[in-house]
Each structure stands twice: as structure tokens, then as C-alpha cells.
Chain A
Amino acid sequence: MGPKKQNRREFLKQGAAIASGAAVGAASQSASAQLPGPEGFLQGRDDIVAYGQRSRFIESKRIPHGGRHSPDTFGLDFHIATPLQDQHGVITPSSLFYMGTTRGSYIPDIDPEKHRLMIHGLVDNPLVFTMEELKRLPSVTRMHFVECAGNRSNRRHTTVQETHGMTSNAEWTGVLLSTLLKEAGVKEGADWIVAEGVEEVKGASSIPMTKAMDDTLLAYSMNGEPVRPQQGFPLRMLAPGFEGIFNVKWLRRIKVVDQYYMTYNDYGHLTQDPATAALGYQIGPKSVIVHPSGGQTLPGAGYYQVSGLAWSGGGKVARVEVTTDGGETWFDAEIRGEPQAMAHTLFAFEWEWDGSPCELQSRCIDEIGQVQPSRAEVAEFWNQPADQPPRVRGQDNSIQPWRIESDGSIHNAIA
């Protein structure tokens, strides 16, 4: 009898002696000697067989954005930010997609069988479509981000969800608006469209015909399922790269017109400054480091993959650069996957942290040569007085700095 077997017999004898009372202790002693297994096993359930659910250990969630709670006391949803810090790929789960509405809105409860899209105005053939008819037409499937004009980092924000959570990215399937406009026959002088939803305020935006005929998409599918109610079920417009409010949800009407209509949504963009008007329209080149980011803590010096998202309303992301010394030295980040036009693009950078305080930033360069600016660069461009905090005109696409302290804590370092 070898020593091993002897030990085993001792153990078994001992185990028998302390049988019931120490059962839990014995189990935990055994567990501490090996890597942990599952907490248990879940029996199949009809409802989860039919429609899956995430792990009970995952608590990632959206939060109200901008100081107004959603839902508010009337039950209106206004601005809700996505938890970018929990995301590792480029697709935002539909259940976590950021949300914005005109004025604050109830979510229309629409029976898709009864939903209709009307196209009329300066067209030869006004048309009404059912959802089934729209799905018969040639479709496209594209990745596009949507971003709210209010996605603006400030000093009070601590996490990337607060600084950048009002943008999300999905794969959309639908029919190009140009297909429908061609079917209707656009008349001369029709330089604009007005797109309108069915929510109680009937949110409507003016969109140039050049955009309507270029890549504007009427989507009925999002990430492989019907577009969700909070995102415009059963039909939403995507004006890729334009500010969020142009991406009209619960779309029921396109009117082809000869002038800018100054709808209430358009009025919301109103400014006296031509530069601000231009910069609050098509979204600029933008990026943010998501891992690591504000509110997280690095456990210690050593290797980390720095990763984040880059996007632009001007086209594809051409390049992303990363600095770990607050902008002194910039390195090319690696683009993960094939960049797509007006879509979030994943970038990554291999980094060895030496444990000393430092500042991480990223900047995006898009395919038409626009470069994401620092706030200091914007201030310099507009000759802003040095004693005033920089104000980025239009939609804010400035660089987001994250400061890492020697204890590994990470903070918003915006000026």
C-alpha cells in the first residue's frame, strides 16, 4: 500500500467521523483547492427556451442622461445613455441602445399590421406602403451609429457612460429612401424632405434631398430583430452621420418639399452663428477610450489592452491614434475589423503601464481627412480667450482625456 492510498484511507475515515456536521466545511475546503465551477445549473424553462435572457451576474444598464430623469413624473422618456464601459465589440445590444426623443415622449404602441408610411408632396405618384410592402422592396443591411447632439463631455461626468453614452451602433436592415423616392418620382425644385413620426408630438425634421437620395435608410430590422419600440418600431429613418434628431423614429410620413420647413425639431438647432449651424449637422470625427475609462481601476502595473470606439459622420474611420502621456507622443492604434461608413469602429493599443500617473487619449482621423481636435485646439482655432473654458461649437467631437493615478484609479481629465 503506497503512501497515497494510505492518505486517502485516512481522509475517508476522517470524513466518515465528521460526516454530517462538517459537510459544508469539507466542501469549501475541496473548492479552495481548485478553480471555481458554476454556481449551479439552470433547468430549461419554456419562456427562456422561447426568448433568451442574460446572466443574472450581468447588471449592465442604461441611465438617464443630462439631469432629467427618464421616465419623468408624466412617464415620458427623454434622454437615456448606453453603458459603453460594459461593451467590448462594436454592436450595441438593442436593449441597451441609447435613446432620445423630441421633448420627452411616450413610446407609441404600434401594431405593425396597421402601420403605414406615406410619401407625398412634390412627387408624381404619392404612395402609401404597408410594412409588408416595404419588406418586398430591395433591402440593404448596414452598420450605422446614431449620436445625440447632447453627447457632450463635461467636468462633472465621471464615467464614459456619462461622457459618451448618447451614441450607439447597430446593424440595420431596411429600404433605401432613394428607392422609395424614385418610385414616387421626385419633382423639380424638391430640395428637402420633412420626415415625421407618430409619437404624440409627431417629431418632424427637415432633411436635404441630397442626403435623402444618398444613403438615408428606412430600417425595419435592427441587430437581427425588428427595430425595438424605443428605437422606432416598426420603422425608423437613419440619416447616417447626421445628429440623432434627424433619425426620425416611428416614421409615418415623408413629405417632399421645396424649402426648409423650420419644424420644432429644426428650431431646436437654431443658431445665429453659421459655424455652429454647420458643426451641429453632420457629426465630426470622434473617438473615446472605453477600456480603461473613468470610474474603473487598474489592479496594478503591467500589460493592458487599451481599446475604444471611433466614428465619424463624414465617412469611414481612416486611422485612430492613442497617447498615454497626455498628448506628447501619439501612436497608431490597431483598427479591429473593417471600418464601415458612419459606423462605430473598434480600435486597440497594446500598453504596458509602469504604474506611474499618466493620461490616456485617443483621436480619430476619418477618410475625408478631418481630425478629432483637443479642446485646446478648438479654442485656438476660434481665438477663444485663454481664461475662458473652451466651448466646442456645434456637436462636441473633442478628445476625451482619462487620467490614471498611481493607485490605478481613472478620472475624467477634461479641461
Chain B
Amino acid sequence: MRLLKYLLPGVMLLGFVAQAQSPTYGVGRAPTAAEIEAWDIAIAPTGEELPDGSGTADLGAQLFLEKGCAGCHGTNGTNGIAPRLVKNDVGEVDNAWRYGRVLPIRSPYATTVWDYINRGMPLGAEGSLLADEVYSLTAYLLYLNDVITDDQLVLDQNSLPKIQMPNRDNWAQVPDWFPGQPRLEGYPY
């Protein structure tokens, strides 16, 4: 056990420098490729986990009704019991934050919209949408928010991450975190 004690601080000092490490305990097993693929649902802003498939806003408009989205979010995405999906009508603004807390306009990345529809919708049947359907519904919400203007634009694993959301560079990163650091430099509280 002594070896382990010294190993950990060493790893931390090196800043997790890559050195192929061999397991110490030999507990657990390697997952299969199929097991990884089935659970690998968090989508990076760069889109690397996005699956094959494609969709358009035109198709999404139909799915929005068929899949029951409109039942909770309202037929316009503005008038339901569930959260609003269309930016508030505040006219042309130079800061997209003024459109309100609406995922498909506020999020810096379109991947977050795809990810959340895929993992969390529709309520009670989460995970039931096919990849094509998620692409189309994402396209439709981006279309409703004027992020894209062509309802025939094809979104897929290549084009979706390239969508330029208005807040792409307009948000505050969380600070780098290290043990024992204050919350905010210069803030005594």
C-alpha cells in the first residue's frame, strides 16, 4: 500500500501526464463496444458522439405535433404548461440573453439542444426518439428561434456542431478549479 500512497500525489503533480497505466487492483472488466455505444449519450460541443442520421426543420414541424411536444409546450412552443421553447418577443437585440431562458436560443451550442431532446424528451418516453427525429426536432426549434432560416437545411453529425448559436462566445466559463482555492480571486466572501 505504501506504493499507492506515493503514486497518487505523483500523478497529480504531473498534471495527469499520459503514461499508459496498468491496473493496480484488477477489479472490474472492460466494457464491450456495444455497451459503450448504448450509454455514450452526452454530446460534446464538437459533436463527436453524434450518431448517424439527419433531419430538417420541415420534418421537425410535423414531429413536434406527432410526438406530443405540442401537448405540453403548446402548438407554437410558447403557450404550454412546459417551458417555453421560443425566444421572447423583444425585437432585435444585440445581446441574445435578452431573449430569455429558452434552451434553443440561449445555449451556446446546438449540441446541447440535441443532447437534451435525446436524453430527456418526451416526458415519460425519454430515449424513445430515433436519431433522425432528434435531428429534425432540433432543426425545428432552431428554426423557430431564427437561428437557422432554411427549413430544408439538413442537420447531421457534421453540420449540427457548426451551427453558430448567438451566445457561442457570450457566456462565462467556470473558473479553473484547484483544491483549497477561494471561490473568486479578490472576493473576501
Could you tell me which A residues sit within 8 Å of B by CB distance? 74, 103, 118, 120, 124-129, 133, 136-138, 178, 182-190, 194, 196, 200-202, 204, 208-211, 213-215, 252-253, 255, 257, 259-264, 267, 269-279, 281-282, 284-285, 313-315, 368-373, 377-378, 381, 394, 397
Among B4, B23, B41, B187, contact of A275 (Cβ-Cβ < 8 Å): B187
**Residues of B close to A368: CB separation below 8 A:** 180-182
B177 pairs with A210, CB closer than 8 A? yes
Please give, as numbers and ranges, the residues of chain B lying within 8 Å of A211 by CB-CB distance.
177
Tell me if B36 and A264 are in contact (CB < 8 A).
Answer: no
Task: Find chain A residues with CB under 8 A from B56 CB.
Answer: none
- Determine which of A213, A276, A381 lies in contact with B11 in the assembled complex, contact meaning CB atoms within 8 Å: A213
Tell me whether B178 is interfacial, beta carbon within 8 Å.
yes
Interface of B is mostly: loop
Q: State the 3 A-B residue pairs at the shortest beta-carbon distance, nearest first.
A: A188-B18, A185-B21, A373-B189
Q: How far is the CA of A381 from the CA of B184 in the complex (A)?
A: 13
The answer to whether B18 touches A275 (Cβ under 8 A) is no
Partner of B111, one of A182, A262, A279: A262
Given known pairs A190-B16, A270-B171, the reply for A182 and B7 (CB within 8 Å) is: yes
Q: Does B51 contact A (CB under 8 A)?
A: no
- Say which residue of A126, A182, A253, A271 sits within 8 Å of B8 (CB atoms): A182
Residues on A with beta carbons closer than 8 Å to the beta carbon of B23: 125, 183-185
How far, in whole Å, are A121 and B18 apart by their CA atoms in the complex?
Answer: 14
Which residues 1-51 in B have Cβ within 8 Å of A in the complex?
4, 7-8, 11-12, 16-18, 20-25, 27-31, 35-36, 39-46
Q: For the complex, count residues of B whose C-beta is within 8 A of A.
A: 63
Question: Is B188 at the interface (CB under 8 A from chain A)?
Answer: yes
Contact pick for B176, options A190, A208, A213, CB 8 Å = A208
B116 located at the interface, meaning its Cβ lies under 8 Å from any Cβ of chain A in the complex: yes
Per the bound structure, the CA–CA distance linking A278 and B109 in Å amounts to 21
Find chain B residues with CB under 8 A from A196 CB: 39, 41-42
B55 close to A (CB within 8 Å): no
- Measured CA separation A138–B16 after assembly (Å): 21
Task: List residues of chain A with CB within 8 A of the CB of B97.
Answer: 272
Minimal Cβ-Cβ distance residue in B for A269: B174
Are A284 and B189 neighbours in the complex by a CB distance under 8 Å?
yes
Q: Chain A residues near B39: list those with CB within 8 A.
A: 118, 196, 252-253
By a beta-carbon cutoff of 8 Å, the part of chain B in contact with chain A is 4, 7-8, 11-12, 16-18, 20-25, 27-31, 35-36, 39-46, 97, 103, 106-109, 111-112, 115-116, 119-120, 123-124, 126-127, 170-184, 187-189
* Known contacts A188-B18, A259-B45, A259-B46: A274-B172 contact under CB 8 Å: yes
Assuming A126-B36, A261-B42, A267-B112, is B25 touching A278 (CB within 8 A)?
Answer: no
Apart from A182-B21, A183-B25, A368-B181, 4 more pairs, CB < 8 Å? A188-B16, A261-B42, A264-B120, A381-B187
A-B contact pairs, 12 of them (CB 8 A): A126-B36, A127-B30, A128-B30, A129-B27, A200-B124, A263-B42, A267-B106, A270-B106, A272-B172, A274-B172, A277-B172, A373-B188
* A182-B11 CB under 8 A given contacts A124-B20, A281-B177, A397-B189: yes
In the complex, which residues of chain A have a beta carbon less than 8 angstroms from the beta carbon of B24?
182-183
Given the complex of chains A and B, what is the CA–CA distance between A201 and B119 in angstroms?
Answer: 6
B residues in contact with A183, CB < 8 Å = 23-25, 27-28
Q: A263 near B177 (CB under 8 angstroms)? A: no
Q: How far is the CA of A103 from the CA of B40 in the complex (A)?
A: 21
The answer to whether B28 touches A371 (Cβ under 8 A) is no
Report whether B109 and A262 are in contact in the complex, using a CB–CB cutoff of 8 Å.
yes
CB–CB A125/B30 < 8 A: yes
Min CB distance A64 to B, Å, is 18
Can you name the residue of chain B whose Cβ is closest to the Cβ of A196? B42
B17: A residues at CB distance < 8 A:
188
Complex CA–CA separation, A271 to B107 (angstroms): 10
Chain B residues near A214: list those with CB within 8 A.
Answer: 12, 179
Pick the contact of B44: A127, A137, A252, A261 (CB < 8 A).
Answer: A261
Contact call A279/B188, Cβ cutoff below 8 A: no
Shortest B80–chain A CB gap in Å is 14
Given contacts A126-B36, A190-B16, A274-B172, contact A202 B25 (CB under 8 A): no
Q: How far is the CA of A189 from the CA of B16 in the complex (A)?
A: 8
Q: How far is the CA of A139 from the CA of B2 in the complex (A)?
A: 16
The interface residues of chain A lying within 8 Å CB-to-CB of B46 are 259
Q: Which residues of chain A have C-beta atoms less than 8 A from B109's C-beta?
A: 262
In Å, the complex CA distance between A66 and B27 comes to 43
The smallest beta-carbon distance between A50 and chain B, in angstroms, is 33
In the complex the two chains form, is A277's CB within 8 Å of B173's CB? yes
- Other-chain contact of A202, B112, B120, B123 (Cβ < 8 Å): B120
B21, B31, B115, B189: the one contacting A264 at CB < 8 Å is B115
**Whole-angstrom CA separation of A93 from B104 in the bound complex:** 40
Q: Is the CB of A187 within 8 A of B18?
A: yes
**Do A74 and B12 touch across chains, with their CB atoms under 8 A apart?**
no
A126-B36, A201-B126, A371-B189 known; A277 vs B183 contact (CB < 8 Å): no
For the complex, what is the distance from the CA of A265 to the CA of B109, rounded to whole Å? 14
Closest Cβ–Cβ distance, residue A331 to chain B (whole Å): 20
Give chain B residues whose Cβ lies under 8 Å from the Cβ of A184. Answer: 23
Q: With CB as the reference atom, state the residue of chain B lying closest to A252.
A: B39
Give the distance in Å from the alpha carbon of A110 to the alpha carbon of B171 in the complex: 38
Taking a contact as CB atoms closer than 8 A, the residue among A118, A260, A373 that contacts B35 in the complex is A118
